Structure 1
């Protein structure tokens, strides 16, 4: 009898062991499943936004959804860049794949259509993918050194806006020497995003070979990436143009009186100097219908710090590196001129008001030969205005 009871106890003990073993395995599987769920969801949002170069992402624009190799909001990585040379990158739809490079220009390109997939979503609608390491696909790394530049003009422009580039090249962009000072000109472009992006990219390469005045970086060229565009401009200036004394960021729809710009800069400070149409105590727009709307979650103060309107501002070249350093500590907003003002505030550097409030104009100024001979920059209503106004100012005779 005792042997039977002992046998029963042994069977019960073995059953309890098997039960505990099964329970432990089941618990481990549940924990692993939970971890997998959390990681997948985190990777699809915040983690992928932060360390996007480690994951494959999908981009969406108004015309298409495209999958790029290791991309974050138009970022192509990894790329190896040395003095403007990109080699090699794996890309799709108008983006370069293995390349032959001469003079910092990527040519020719091998292009394939992207794979349609669900669009990647940023952590929030006002997320700006900066800081991040962007690379130059088309570069002019020796521009400032070769031309012994005094002031370099950087014009952000969309890839397809050839008309604006040609209008500027034939007017104020053609003024290369003023008062024995060299003025250099460069157009800054991102990746084309339209349906004809493959052709646009090929056209850009040919245009660059002809004029040698184009910089192109690997971010999507769009309105909401203007802050990235400005940061890339500052990075280029810091890396390739430190021998120059000043730079001006100016929009492609502007009329610029280059002579007056140079005359303004001749006696200007060589350090910590930025001027333009300076906005002070500007209120943050909370109306969701506004083009410049920013929610409290993106920027909580009620007023912006002082900033120079993005239509055209001038700064000493020492600020390029300082602003890039500040940008590593300031949360980026998509309004590029405001972001530059935020970086200036972080540096504790105030902006300089222009000596005359009429030098920089946010609204188009009706043409008057005398008036245009005195201003520095103004918005215009058309490219035709830019051409006609500039030509009239070049004709002999008194201005006033």
Structure 2
């Protein structure tokens, strides 16, 4: 009798087990279906509107649903049309299909415009065939007329800046080249930088004192005469250059929309005269940098890259660091200097590092130079760098020490507030000198 009970219990268990498993499976399937139906994808938050937008403005740009570079989705704006034509031209599959590039009359006009502009880039690059050019603001019209011009002669050069025999330091290459965007009349800013965070020479780190060789150059165009009469500062600039030997000046108008040219022309200069530089800092002449702390950070990055290179034989370093801005929209506020009309550019911006300053590796600088030959010039230099990075398949890295939107107002005069800062924007020449002196006496308890 006992044996029969045991047998019946086992049989019952064996019969119920598949039913239980099937029941659990049905419950799992029902829960999965419910979760799938009730799930709502997260909304893309607009992290940032390009600088200068009014807080009350609702004039946001439309943006494509696909990746940034899929500009065919927004092909009604001038920049998008020009870039799309270039993408087709450089596409190895479509390169032989010349009819594809001028399939419609609008593209044919763009091709004619480019031929005309490239024929004589050193003269005034006129584009009379662009329909509606007069509808653009004056600054944008000037940019469009010269946006195909990328080569300008050097008026002031420093060919020996990075040569070994140009200094008393027994070092083959600079650890850091600091390229500061300035203007002819900003004498005070340049002098304050030389006396504080932008000193050329052997600079110590803050923590391990390792530091490295730093070379600083200032990137200038010529004075913009279109904004009104200005005193002729050419002789003063020549005297400044004779004393310090750190000015690079090119023969183009130094306007806000031409800042992108300084990146392109500096990359060309770097490759020709300072190709052994390990890192590059690109910044404005109204920022403050804790150079020693920056060198500590860069030395650590270089050591990690050396270890990585030993295992992978990867020589290129993809470092690009700054205050990264994602999901940014073009500024559609006509009263601001950052205004980008929808007829010129449509779409979101790619991730880019905001104004003030960024740091990237020297090897990446040369790849940026190369890829920039396939990216149409854009009037906002920070965004253009993001476009070139995106074209390389890279993204900028965010570093919380890059404060391009400044410290809280209550902390700006406190030395200890700068302990974790690598860069802060903006500071006047007097503020640079004051902060620098205070940081040299920073209390140990910070």
Q: TM-score, normalised by structure 2?
A: 0.61
Q: Quick check: which one's helix share is greater?
A: 2
8 Å contact kept, 1:126–1:298: no
Using a 3 Å threshold, how does the CA distance of structure 1 residues 123 and 299 change in structure 2: closer, same or farther?
closer
- Structure 1 stretch 273-282 or stretch 232-241: which is displaced more? 232-241
8 Å contact kept, 1:165–1:252: yes
Using a 3 Å threshold, how does the CA distance of structure 1 residues 137 and 197 change in structure 2: closer, same or farther?
farther
The number of residue pairs the alignment matches comes to: 293
Which of 162, 168, 178 is matched with 1:153 structurally?
Answer: 178
Does residue 1:211 correspond to 2:225, yes or no?
no
Does residue 1:245 correspond to 2:278, yes or no?
yes
Q: TM-score, normalised by structure 1?
A: 0.67
User: Which runs of no fewer than 5 residues in structure 1 stay unpaired?
Assistant: 1-40, 54-68, 74-120
Q: CA deviation at 1:230?
A: 1.7
Counterpart in the other structure of 1:59: none
8 Å contact kept, 1:373–1:399: no
Using a 3 Å threshold, how does the CA distance of structure 1 residues 382 and 122 change in structure 2: closer, same or farther?
closer
Q: Provide the C-alpha distance between the structure 1 equivalents of 2:182 and 2:290, rounded to a whole number of angstroms.
A: 19
Cα RMSD over matched residues? 2.7
8 Å contact kept, 1:279–1:309: yes
8 Å contact kept, 1:130–1:228: no
Q: CA deviation at 1:200?
A: 1.3
Q: CA deviation at 1:51?
A: 2.6
Q: Matched residue of 2:397: which SS?
A: coil
8 Å contact kept, 1:175–1:258: no
1:1-400 superposed matches below 5 A: 48-53=116-121, 70-72=123-125, 124=141, 126-127=143-144, 128-146=146-164, 148-174=173-199, 176=201, 177-178=203-204, 179-194=210-225, 199-268=232-301, 269=305, 271-301=317-347, 303-354=348-399, 357=400, 359-365=401-407, 366-395=412-441, 397-398=443-444, 400=446
Q: Provide the C-alpha distance between the structure 2 equivalents of 1:271 and 1:297, rounded to a whole number of angstroms.
A: 37
TM-superposition CA deviations, 1:292-312 (whole Å, max 9, x none) = 2212332221x1101111310
Q: CA deviation at 1:252?
A: 0.6
8 Å contact kept, 1:257–1:373: no
Q: Provide the C-alpha distance between the structure 1 equivalents of 2:114 and 2:424, rounded to a whole number of angstroms.
A: 41
User: Which runs of no fewer than 5 residues in structure 2 stay unpaired?
Assistant: 1-108, 127-137, 168-172, 205-209, 306-315
Using a 3 Å threshold, how does the CA distance of structure 1 residues 398 and 231 change in structure 2: closer, same or farther?
same
Q: Matched residue of 2:374: which SS?
A: coil
Counterpart in the other structure of 2:131: none
Q: Matched residue of 1:182: which SS?
A: strand
Q: CA deviation at 1:123?
A: 9.3
Q: CA deviation at 1:319?
A: 1.7
If asked which structure has higher relative contact order (CA below 8 Å, sep 6+), I would say 2
8 Å contact kept, 1:364–1:381: no
8 Å contact kept, 2:282–2:359: yes
Q: Provide the C-alpha distance between the structure 1 equivalents of 2:355 and 2:139, rounded to a whole number of angstroms.
A: 25
TM-superposition CA deviations, 1:112-136 (whole Å, max 9, x none) = xxxxxxxxx9994542534522221
